[in-house]
Structure 1
Amino acid sequence: MPASGAVTRSTLRQQIADALRDEVLAGRLLPGQEFTVKHIADQYGVSATPVREALVDLSAQGLLDSDQHRGFHVHEFTVEDFRGMVEARSLVVDGVVRRLDGAGLAARAHGESLVSVRRRAEEAARAARAGDLDILIGYDLRFWRELGALIANRYVCEFLHRMRVQAWVFSVPFLRADAEGEKWLWSGHEPLVDAITLGDAGAVRAVIGEYDEHARKWADRLESTHR
């Protein structure tokens, strides 16, 4: 019985963390917004223990900040933080691609896993072109996570996933408030899958470079309009 109870609590802890992460990604919990363990426990109708554990997990992921007297609040990332995220993921991805030659890329991009990645790419690109931010976020995160699992080790994948979650957390409030926000949703997922399938490392670096430059230009625009 103790083991079963531990599994149940662990599962609940993860479910709460996932639900709160989705709230932050969707922009329903805004940067700086404060809440307590009791508030979240009451909201989900659960005890305080799994909620506290979930909030600590999200704090460790850089999404929340804790205050001994005031509870927790959503972390407020800056434009410079965002630029740092883009640079970090760019350096790591470039290192992964350069480590694998074209044959290495093609050898890893096959079978059912690639079919799933291509499906995510199509859905993410479609949502980006339609300006559907809610749909895009989920497919974009799954696309990059599944793609990373094909060509990188799990430690690299986890790092990159964390960078992309944080980047979305920063971006969402600004994209929603911008009348032209949908024009800045990147939709190059499919060309990237095509390049990896062909084992064309140069084309992969070119698409990734365009992706990163797109993010940098958006950061520049954001900074210029919020001075």
Structure 2
Amino acid sequence: MTGDEQATLTLPALGTRRNLREEITQTLRAAVISGELRPGVVYSAPSLAAQFGVSATPVREAMLDLVGEGLVDTVRNKGFRVTDLSEKDLDELSELRALIEVPTVRRLAEAGVAPEVLDELRPLAKEIEAAAARRDLIAHVAADMEFHLRLLALAGNQHLVETVRSLRARSRIYGLRTLADRDALVPSAHEHAELLDLLAAGDADGVERLMRRHIAHVRGIWAENGEGS
């Protein structure tokens, strides 16, 4: 694929909705993280808008939001290109995530989380698995992001949540498509339900082990496929 080719993505038709720009931004962010939007390819707002079934304006605004997040760069008179990351970048992002997320979720287990609070997260855990089963990588990543950020928000530190949001958005999981095609994505997705069960049991050691394995697993998906630069 050359740098100026447009790729056809599996994007949902959104129509006219409230917070359309925010919804498009979330979807495109997930497309970047999952590797459905690839580095080196120039994507135009009109082309993406046609796949969403909306006008180009909210798509262009959403892409500018992603420029602000450092996920894409503008290409003059052409569109937008996904910012590339090196192996070192991805390793460092994974290390930072582990340093923040693992002890935070462990502290939640030690302090105890009310069953009804955990129950509010279970539909998201199911959606992560369902998206994995139907090989909808964009929905899978979007639900995964929401799950982890809502879980971390229980610690009561909004700055921590925003930091992790940025780290997760800047990460890439280029091997998800290969994993999905091998029907191997669902077992990884099930780790979210396992995490909730461990939190319900107050198993802090188990929570820490699973979180470390989960972050390492996500990083390993990328490394296994050797698609970084």
TM-score, with length taken from structure 1: 0.70
**Identical aligned pairs, as a percentage?**
28
Query: Could you tell me which of 160, 165, 173 is aligned with 1:171?
Result: 173
The one-letter code matched in structure 2 to 1:211 is H
Q: CA deviation at 1:121?
A: 2.2
Structure 2 counterparts to residues 4-15 of structure 1, below 5 A: 11-15=19-23
Q: Which residue of structure 2 lines up, in the alignment, with residue 115 of structure 1? A: 119
SS at match of 1:73: strand
Task: Name the counterpart of 1:32.
Answer: 40
Structure 1 contact 94–205 (Cα < 8 Å) conserved:
yes
Between the aligned partners of 2:36 and 2:197, the Cα distance in structure 1 is 35
Tell me, which stretches of 5 or more residues in structure 2 are unaligned? 1-17
1:76 maps to which residue?
84
Larger radius of gyration: 1
* RMSD, aligned CA: 3.6
Q: Answer yes or no: is 1:222 the counterpart of 2:216.
A: no
Taking a change above 3 Å as real, the CA distance of residues 60 and 119 of structure 1, as seen in their structure-2 partners, is: same
> For residues 18 and 52 of structure 1, what CA distance do their matches in structure 2 show?
13
Higher share in helix = 1
Give the whole-Å Cα distance in 1 for the aligned partners of 2:130 and 2:49: 37
Partner of 1:137: 141
Name the CA distance, whole Å, in 1 between partners of 2:219 and 2:62. 32
Work out the CA distance in 2 between the residues paired with 1:147 and 1:70: 39
Amino acid at match of 1:147: L
Q: Secondary structure of 1:151's match?
A: coil
After TM superposition, give the deviation of residue 226 of structure 1 in Å: 8.0
SS of equivalent residue, structure 1 residue 18 = helix
**Cα offset, 1:92, TM superposition:** 0.6
* 1:199 aligned to which of 202, 205, 218: 202
Shift of 1:40: 5.7
Letter of the structure 2 residue corresponding to residue 171 of structure 1: I
Deviations 1:145-190 (A, max 9, x none): 22122234222222223333343xx224x33246865435623112
Aligned length: 209
Amino acid of the residue matched to residue 151 of structure 2? Answer: L
Indicate if the aligned counterparts of 1:131 and 1:182 stay in contact, CA closer than 8 A: no
Partner Cα separation in structure 2 for residue 226 and residue 15 of structure 1:
28
Residue matched to 1:162 = 166
Amino acid at match of 1:140: D
2: CA distance between counterparts of 1:53 and 1:66? Answer: 12
Q: Which amino acid in 1 is paired with 2:118?
A: L
Aligned to 1:61: 69
Give the TM-score normalised by the residue count of structure 2: 0.70
For residues 100-131 of structure 1, give each alpha carbon's deviation from its aligned partner in whole angstroms, at most 9, with x where no partner exists.
37542x1xx22543212123223434554x47
